[in-house]
Amino acid sequence: MGNNNSGPQPGERSLHDFMNQQNFRNNQQGVYSQNSSIPAYPGADDDHAEAYSKKDVPMTSKNAVAIKNDFMIDKNSVSLIPTNYPGQYYLTFKFSSMADVEITIFYRGKDHTDDQQNTEYIDVDGDRYTPVKSYIFGIVKNQEFPANASILDSKLYTKDDLMKFSNATYPLIIKMETKTDRMNAEKKILYNYFSFRFTGGKYEGRFLKQKLQVNGTSYILDDIYGIADSDLSGKTNVEGKECTICFTNKVDTVVLPCKHMCLCLDCAKDLRARQNPKCPMCRTTIENYMSLTKS
């Protein structure tokens, strides 16, 4: 005879439980169909904790200008090393130059600029601080700045003088300027701005920024990873790196703050529409997009 008990048998599920499970699966599939990088439910992945509150990531457009820079400085080599005399340090760093160059050292220099951010002059209080000194070098590669060329007496400075910067006054400015007597020669000046941190008995340089001034026009230089392999590098033998997402278009967009140039503009716009976008190269959360075009 048939069993009149309509409840679930051992090992079976009720229709209510079955439908609940199906609804959960449908919801789960719906979430993944919208964005495969978002977890199925809030809290499933700490890396996506903010995935459900979409941020409007800005996108800016800038012109890229290919400029030959005759000067280079190893930003990680800048240090003040103690001499054999107590309280005295000598400045050391490595640099290269493709032309004759005049290097001027400013400690606690105030950078006076015009409305176009061109440096008009750098002011140093010579009565309180080490006097300004200049040195001339020829064409060099990986040259070590002479150890005894710039001696700093730490008794003239507080630690804040060497470690902090404000009001356009920097603990160290290294100015590299084209030295030539040729008429109509392109005049280039590279300004390198540093502060210091005291560790291990010496002051290690902390790179702040770099500015190249060419015939009265200033450019703030920044390291963009991948631009050397792009169509914007200014090189004639570079075919252009492909976008890391579509593998079709050429890269022309930088993601910030990691500064990887790895996307084309179309893929950047698509990525921008997603929630909590990440850099395809390093997985850093993207805070801004910068599209570059040749000027």
More confident position, 95 or 42: 95
- Residue 3 domain flag: no
Domain shared by 277 and 172, yes or no = no
Q: What is the mean pLDDT of the chain?
A: 80
Return the percentage of the chain with pLDDT > 90, whole number.
45
Q: Does the pLDDT at position 235 exceed 50?
A: yes
Both 100 and 145 in a single domain?
yes
State mean pLDDT over 169-184. Answer: 88
- Between the CA atoms of 83, 78, 174 and 180, what dihedral angle is there, to the nearest 10 degrees? 100
Instruction: Give the percent of the chain with pLDDT over 70.
Output: 74
pLDDT, residue 20, reads 55
How far from chain centre, in Å, is Cα 284? 13
pLDDT for the residue 177: 94
At 168 the pLDDT is 93
Query: Residue 58: what pLDDT?
Result: 78
Structure tokens at 171: 């603990």
- Give the residue from 188, 221, 254 where a domain finishes: 221
**53-105 pLDDT, tens per residue?**
455 777 777 766 667 788 999 999 999 999 999 999 999 999 999 999 999 99
Q: Are strands 88-92 and 151-153 parallel, antiparallel or unpaired?
A: antiparallel
Assess whether 140 and 213 both reside in one domain.
yes
> Which residue range(s) make up the domain with 258?
225-294
Question: Is residue 195 very low, low, confident or very high in pLDDT (cuts 50, 70, 90)?
Answer: very high
- Is residue 249 located within the same domain as residue 156? no
> What does the pLDDT average to over 233-261?
81
**32 pLDDT exceeds 90?**
no
Q: What is the pLDDT of residue 161?
A: 95
My answer on whether 214 and 236 are in the same domain is: no
Query: Which of 191, 221, 251 is the C-terminal boundary of a domain?
Result: 221
pLDDT value, residue 238: 59
Q: Is the pLDDT of residue 261 over 50?
A: yes
73-87, 156-170, 205-219, 220-234: least confidently modelled range: 220-234
Residues 207 and 277 in one domain: no
**Does residue 139 have a pLDDT over 90?**
yes
Average pLDDT on 240-264 reads: 89
Residues whose CB falls within 8 Å of the CB of residue 224, separated by 6 or more in sequence, listed in order: 254, 259, 261
Number of domains into which the chain is organized: 2
Higher per-residue confidence, 188 vs 27 = 188
- pTM, whole model, 2 decimals? 0.67
Q: What is the amino acid identity at position 120?
A: E
